[in-house]
Amino acid sequence: MTTDTIPKSIQCAERQLRFDLPVVMGILNVTPDSFSDGGLFSNIESALRQAEKMVSDGAMIIDVGGESTRPGAKSVSNSEELDRVIPVIEKLHQELDVVISIDTSKAMVMTEAARAGAGLINDVMALQQRGALRAAQKTGLPVCLMHMKGKPRTMQTKPEYDDVVTEVKDFLTHKVEQCLKQGIRKEQIIIDPGFGFGKTLAHNVSLFKHLGELKALGFPVLVGASRKTMIGQITGREVQERLAGSLALATMVALKMASLKGASIIRVHDVAETVDAIKVAHALS
């Protein structure tokens, strides 16, 4: 199912997301244990202030997550995740003109988040959890399908591939076909190669070099590598010192996708700096 026709926009509940430029997705973790910002935005007011800042800085999507997927993180129950994310989504929906994404793999959380005002489902498990595919379809929302080798708690324990690009592409193609059979429309699907999710630095670099093969599947591509270990491995920097490296990667993504005429979403912690980098890259490309 290879095609070069990528939608120019995507409908996220009552808001439309356009891909005139690479879209910046701002990360809002309402968790105590996320690798970069755990605990910083775990109450409604601090989460709202951070979301307001990201929107002011140019974020077109706010990605709300209530369960950390860093290696070794503990899983949380449905009720605990709902308690974390639903009040925040409701508040953001009331206060801000922005697409709200729910970063979850749980069917119940998808359903309740859609009711609370979410306009996009971002699932690192690609709708593989029990009931998730059906729940996503029933919400009517677009979905982002991500590739991950293994599970979040153990994904970085010696991941191996015969050919990482082929395996990621085949996995995403299969998940797209499942979505289409379930009734999720092509124009509602985004794909994500899953940088850092069950992949070594060499795997991540290979995927980046072959983004064109993913673009050829015919869907907007989400890239999330902000502050991740791969940046640290290249630069030797700790988590809070990875801004320059993250900006370099975001700029490269913007340039590469522009040359490929592909739509992209770049998921980041540092919105203002990324938006500026993308504007410059786009102007010069």
149 is catalytic: no
Residue of 230, 259, 258 lying closest to 242 (CA atoms): 230
Banded model confidence at residue 124, pLDDT cuts 50, 70, 90: very high
C-alpha–C-alpha distance, residues 221 and 244, integer Å: 22
Banded model confidence at residue 160, pLDDT cuts 50, 70, 90: confident
Banded model confidence at residue 152, pLDDT cuts 50, 70, 90: low
Q: What length does the chain have?
A: 285
Banded model confidence at residue 31, pLDDT cuts 50, 70, 90: confident
Note the pLDDT of residue 153.
60
What value does the mean pLDDT take over residues 61-90? 89
Catalytically annotated residue among 215, 227, 256, 267: 267
Catalytically annotated residue among 228, 237, 261, 279: 228
Number of alpha carbons in the 13 Å side-chain half-sphere of residue 165: 14
pTM over 0.85: yes
Neighbouring-strand partners of residue 223: 266
Banded model confidence at residue 156, pLDDT cuts 50, 70, 90: low
Banded model confidence at residue 13, pLDDT cuts 50, 70, 90: very high
Domains annotated for the chain, with CATH where assigned, are 9-284 (3.20.20.20)
18 is catalytic: no
